[in-house]
């Protein structure tokens, strides 16, 4: 695998998730007048608990999202801001449909719930995490993957 191929997902995930946190967004969130309440939900992947040949770069970048989630959960807790992550399986989107079609046959067969995941499968978990009901939940990663990662 070329260096460029390896670095592309890492760079994209790093900039998409950590740049807002490191560019002062988190500081502004704490001092913006909405002090005492806030929710951040990052998207990662269940692949962090799987061994997928050729995907090491992707898995490493998604594990970095989990590390950032845990770190920010600690740093922002005093401001009343919770930070969590959701780790789906292969979700049918326009982007994933551009990949190998065989994935949509193989992945559901590995899950306890044997169907392709759709974006609506994630809304309940995300809605909970941004609600007042999740006020004492922070630094966690929720695997919403139809039971693919069961350990």
Set 13, 40, 44, 58: catalytic member:
58
Q: What is the pLDDT of residues 18-66, one digit of tens each?
A: 555 555 555 555 554 456 899 999 999 999 998 888 889 999 999 999 9
Cα 31 to chain centroid distance, Å, stands at: 25
Is the per-residue pLDDT at 16 higher than 80? no
What pLDDT, on the 0 to 100 scale, is given for residue 151? 54
Give the predicted TM-score (pTM) of the model: 0.80
**Enclosing H/E stretch for 136:** none
Q: What is the distance between the alpha carbons of residues 144 and 7, in angstroms, rounded to a whole number?
A: 27
Distance CA 79, CA 85 (A): 19
| Interatomic CA distance for residues 17 and 35, integer angstroms | 22
DSSP codes, 102-120:
THHHHHHHHSSS-S-B-TH
Mean pLDDT of all residues in 82-94: 96
Note the helical H segments in the chain: 3-22, 25-31, 56-76, 94-97, 103-110, 120-129
Q: How far is Cα 151 from Cα 48, in angstroms, rounded to an integer?
A: 12
Q: How confident is the model at residue 129 (pLDDT cuts 50, 70, 90)?
A: very high
- Between residues 36 and 76, the one the model is more confident about: 76
Q: Which domains does the chain have, with CATH numbers?
A: 3-144 (3.40.50.720)
For residue 90, pLDDT beyond 80: yes
Higher pLDDT, 23 or 149: 149
Q: Is 58 among the catalytic positions?
A: yes
């Amino acid at each position: 695998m070329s260096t460029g191929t390896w670095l592309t997902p890492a760079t994209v995930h790093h900039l998409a998730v950590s740049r807002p946190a490191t560019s002062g967004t988190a500081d502004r969130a704490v001092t913006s007048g909405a002090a005492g309440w806030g929710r951040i939900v990052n998207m990662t992947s269940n692949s962090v608990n799987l061994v997928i040949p050729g995907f090491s770069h992707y898995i490493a970048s998604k594990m970095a999202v989990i590390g950032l989630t845990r770190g920010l959960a600690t740093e922002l807790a005093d401001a009343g801001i919770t930070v969590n992550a959701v780790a789906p399986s292969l979700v049918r989107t326009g982007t994933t449909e551009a990949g190998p079609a065989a994935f949509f046959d193989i992945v559901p067969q590995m899950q306890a719930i044997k169907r392709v995941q759709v974006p609506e499968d994630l809304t309940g978990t995300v809605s909970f995490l941004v609600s007042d009901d999740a006020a004492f939940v922070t630094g966690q990663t929720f695997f919403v993957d139809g039971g693919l990662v069961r350990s």
